[in-house]
């Protein structure tokens, strides 16, 4: 009951908050719709449903229109199941409508064993029967006002089947009751409850109210936080030590943002910082992570709520993989790759797995109605809970291992993917996840056995090739691992921690080296095969890397984006687009390219003969490519003495016939640049001389 001593200090709405939603519910109650006699208020865990239902119950009780109320709670033994639901409602009915009392007593006398009967039987015997008798004997409603029954927290009644049964019992009761009744029910939007309310039997009699952003919860939460903190500053025993300007507006705004529209976070914070034995400002610093705490954490109640929600999961491994992908995904891609079907494809899950798993977490996770829309986490504090092992315990989500698993799934998309969006995500975000991944034997095995040739083939067929080349440095990092005798530092922990190269693990200790050389050889050979089939200039980017890997270290400035992603963008376009937007950086590009000319003429001294031939072929292509770029860049470059020095010292070998024209243009461009540089230098000196005379 709303005024039961067993519910001492029930949750209530802070003055001035939740005004709009409460008024909407009161309007529905007072207007007494003849057909829409059941209303469902639903929202995620911690949204403040119970406080609103308490407010409605108190308001309706004061107006004499509340027949009964029942507040389920899984933590209260007397209210965690349906056993006392009907008897509690009947008791309140006898008090609110005195004429019903003798009828209820008579029904109990006639069947003393009614407690052992079904819920539907009890409801008919103790509620529907007496009300129908009153209606028939008086010929009219005993009272003209509405008559409301409030049932809060249905999702906290033990058992999904019982929750569905309770709903159907009250639907049947309201349809058979001649006395006008209205039922207001609140719960989380659990899948089985949503399905029951969506059935045809409820369709004409149900009104839904979603406790969402349309009711401006952030404004209410800010009002609640500001008012509560003012009260703490006025009444706290240690108020004399609290700075007068505490807290700043930014701190309150941070708390509002972290609340994510859910009152439970804000209420938990207020309860924590108002503790009598500690300074409130110190406690708030703990909440915001600005200092550490040696006593109970600030979110003990919130953590208990989340732990209870996750306890419904039989197996935690797959849910944590899904949540890792939701939480750790690169934000710019979230709208495109977090729909249920794409999550299943990316994580290699059976169709329907996401819905099956996340339906059990529907109070904290929003599943979209459309397969094209993304899955969303409803409350930011859930992420904080999962990523903090001291709070989440067995539900802890290890970020490093989460990134490691995503890297492995990216490799899978690059070699076996069919969805261009997911393959695009894999190429675009692989480096990000790889840098944050924790060492693991499975990840190392996947790196060693990554088939670059198959990846190129899959990317070509999927249409994601442009994204692949736009993020080719990802693969250059992987190749550098293969080619290095000691491997890059990120791989070294894998080797030492798991001893993967010992004879005990690998009978043939050359397995890794052999596999690496084989992969590189296939990768290089694949470029020759692809030269004649797709955008040669684009492939030159890979050729330049192959001959001179450090050239790709300078690709960071070239974040030039093409308006049409389907257009073939050559490396020249990147260079020119960048040079046009930031002229001074063209000098950096030119210096790098001129210094690399000699290196581009050299082939590798190691490796099989086929490898040497491949490099030789690419050397010639790359050399031509650089000669093509230089004249166009020189036209756009600023005056730069260092670049001029390089240009004066550069020497070209005798050109091949098909390169003669390119070389002539380069020589002409270099001479023009020298002339431009010398004139610029003279002008600068002239200006300096004038300044000295002055």
Q: Which two tokens stand for residue 105?
A: 């007593």
Question: Coil, strand or helix: which one is 524?
Answer: helix
Nearest CA to 69 out of 91, 47, 100, 48 is that of 91
Classify the phi-psi angles of 33: left when phi > 0, otherwise alpha if psi is within -120 to 50, otherwise beta.
beta
Nearest CA to 592 out of 646, 638, 542, 640 is that of 646
CA distance 291 to 310: 28
Average pLDDT over residues 534-557: 36
Q: Give me the pLDDT at residue 476, please.
A: 40
H-state helical runs in 532-659: 536-547, 571-581, 584-600, 609-634, 641-649
Q: Locate tokens 């829409």: which residue?
A: 36
Least confident of 154-163, 459-468, 597-606, 651-660: 597-606
Predicted confidence (pLDDT) per residue in 293-335, tens digit: 444 566 776 787 788 778 878 889 999 999 999 999 876 666 6
Average pLDDT over residues 264-283: 83
- Would you tell me how many other CB atoms lie within 10 Å of the CB of residue 690? 9
Residue 237 CB-density burial (10 A; 0-12 exposed, 13-18 middle, 19+ buried): exposed
- Cα angle: 26, vertex 31, 37; to 5 degrees: 85
Predicted confidence (pLDDT) per residue in 68-120, tens digit: 999 998 767 688 888 899 999 999 999 998 889 999 999 888 888 887 888 99
Q: Give me the pLDDT at residue 169, please.
A: 92
Greater pLDDT, 669 or 147: 147
Nearest CA to 257 out of 247, 266, 246, 267 is that of 266
Q: Locate tokens 């890979």: which residue?
A: 542
Q: Which two tokens stand for residue 207?
A: 């009104």
Domains and CATH numbers, the chain: 5-213 (3.40.50.300), 217-298 (no CATH), 535-694 (no CATH)
Q: What is the pTM of this model?
A: 0.52
Residues contacting 246, CB < 8 A, separation 6+: 233, 280, 281
CA distance 48 to 282: 27
Q: Give me the pLDDT at residue 694, please.
A: 28
Report the chain's mean pLDDT, rounded to a whole number.
71
Q: What percent of the chain has pLDDT over 70?
A: 59
CA distance 107 to 224: 47
For the chain, the first-to-last Cα distance in angstroms comes to: 94
Q: What are phi and psi of 376, to 5 degrees?
A: -130, 145
CA distance 426 to 467: 9
Q: Give me the pLDDT at residue 494, please.
A: 36
Q: How confident is the model at residue 134 (pLDDT cuts 50, 70, 90)?
A: confident
- Would you tell me how many other CB atoms lie within 10 Å of the CB of residue 277? 7
CA distance 72 to 154: 6
Average pLDDT over residues 609-628: 51
- Cα angle: 141, vertex 147, 151; to 5 degrees: 150
CA distance 117 to 122: 7
CB under 8 A, 24+ apart: contacts of 409-412: 409/325, 409/346, 409/347, 409/348, 411/446, 411/447, 411/450, 412/348
Q: What percent of the chain has pLDDT over 90?
A: 25
């Amino acid at each position: 009951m709303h005024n039961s001593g067993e519910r001492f200090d029930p949750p209530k709405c802070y003055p001035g908050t939740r005004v709009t939603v409460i008024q909407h519910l009161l309007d529905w109650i007072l207007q007494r719709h003849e057909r829409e006699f059941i209303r469902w208020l639903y929202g995620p865990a911690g949204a403040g449903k119970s406080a609103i239902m308490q407010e409605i119950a108190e308001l309706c009780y004061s107006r004499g229109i509340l027949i009964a109320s029942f507040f389920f709670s899984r933590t209260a033994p007397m209210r965690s199941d349906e056993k006392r639901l009907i008897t509690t409602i009947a008791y309140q009915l006898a008090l609110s409508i005195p004429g019903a009392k003798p009828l209820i007593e008579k029904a109990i006398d006639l069947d003393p064993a009614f407690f052992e009967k079904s819920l539907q039987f009890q409801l008919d015997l103790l509620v529907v029967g007496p009300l129908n008798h009153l209606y028939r004997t008086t010929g009219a409603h005993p009272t003209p006002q509405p008559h409301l029954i409030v049932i809060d927290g249905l999702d906290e009644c033990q058992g999904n089947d019982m929750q569905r049964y309770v709903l159907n019992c009250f639907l049947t009761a309201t349809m058979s009751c001649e006395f006008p009744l209205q039922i207001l029910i609140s719960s989380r939007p659990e899948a089985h409850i949503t399905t029951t309310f969506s059935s045809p039997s409820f369709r004409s009699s149900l009104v839904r109210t979603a406790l969402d952003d349309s009711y401006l919860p952030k404004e209410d939460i800010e009002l609640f936080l500001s008012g509560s903190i003012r009260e703490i500053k006025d009444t706290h025993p240690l108020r004399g030590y609290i700075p007068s300007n505490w807290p700043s507006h930014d701190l309150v705004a941070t708390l509002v943002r972290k609340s994510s529209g859910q009152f439970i976070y804000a209420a938990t914070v207020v309860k924590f910082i108002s503790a009598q034995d500690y300074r409130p400002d110190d406690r708030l610093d703990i909440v915001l992570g600005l200092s550490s705490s040696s006593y109970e954490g600030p979110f003990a109640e919130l953590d208990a709520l989340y732990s209870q929600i996750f306890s419904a999961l039989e197996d935690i491994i797959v849910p944590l993989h899904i949540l890792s992908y939701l939480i750790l995904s690169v934000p710019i891609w979230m709208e495109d790759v977090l729909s249920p079907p794409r999550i299943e494809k990316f994580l290699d899950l059976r169709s329907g797995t996401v819905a099956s798993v996340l339906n059990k977490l529907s109070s904290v996770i929003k599943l979209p109605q459309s397969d094209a829309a993304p899955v969303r986490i409803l409350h930011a504090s859930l992420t904080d809970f999962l990523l903090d092992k001291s709070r989440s315990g067995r539900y802890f989500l290890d970020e490093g291992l989460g990134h490691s698993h995503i890297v492995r799934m990216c490799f899978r998309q690059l070699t076996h993917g069919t969805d261009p969006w997911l393959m695009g995500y894999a190429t675009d975000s692989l480096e990000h996840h790889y840098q944050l991944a924790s060492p693991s034997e499975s990840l190392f095995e996947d790196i060693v056995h990554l088939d670059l040739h198959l990846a190129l083939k899959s990317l070509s067929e999927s249409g994601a090739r442009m994204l692949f080349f736009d993020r080719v440095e990802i693969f250059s990092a992987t190749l550098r691992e293969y080619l290095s005798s000691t491997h890059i530092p990120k791989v070294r922990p894998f080797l030492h921690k798991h001893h993967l190269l010992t004879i005990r693990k690998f009978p043939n200790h050359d397995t890794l080296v052999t596999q690496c050389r084989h992969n590189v050889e296939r990768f290089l050979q694949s470029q020759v095969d692809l030269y004649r089939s797709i955008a040669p200039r684009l492939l030159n980017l890979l050729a330049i890397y192959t001959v001179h890997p450090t050239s790709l270290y300078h690709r960071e400035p070239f974040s030039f984006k093409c308006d049409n992603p389907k257009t073939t963008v050559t490396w020249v376009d990147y260079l020119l687009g960048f040079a046009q937007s930031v002229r001074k950086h063209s000098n950096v590009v030119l210096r790098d390219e001129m210094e690399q000319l000699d290196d581009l003429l050299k082939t590798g001294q190691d490796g099989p003969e086929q490898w040497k031939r491949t490099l030789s072929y690419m050397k010639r292509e790359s050399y031509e490519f650089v000669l093509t770029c230089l004249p166009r860049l020189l036209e756009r470059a600023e005056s730069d003495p260092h670049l001029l020095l390089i240009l004066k010292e550069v020497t070209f070998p005798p050109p091949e016939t098909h390169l003669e024209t390119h070389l002539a243009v380069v020589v002409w461009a270099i001479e023009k640049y020298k002339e431009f540089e010398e004139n610029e230098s003279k002008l600068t000196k002239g200006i300096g001389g004038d300044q000295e005379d002055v």
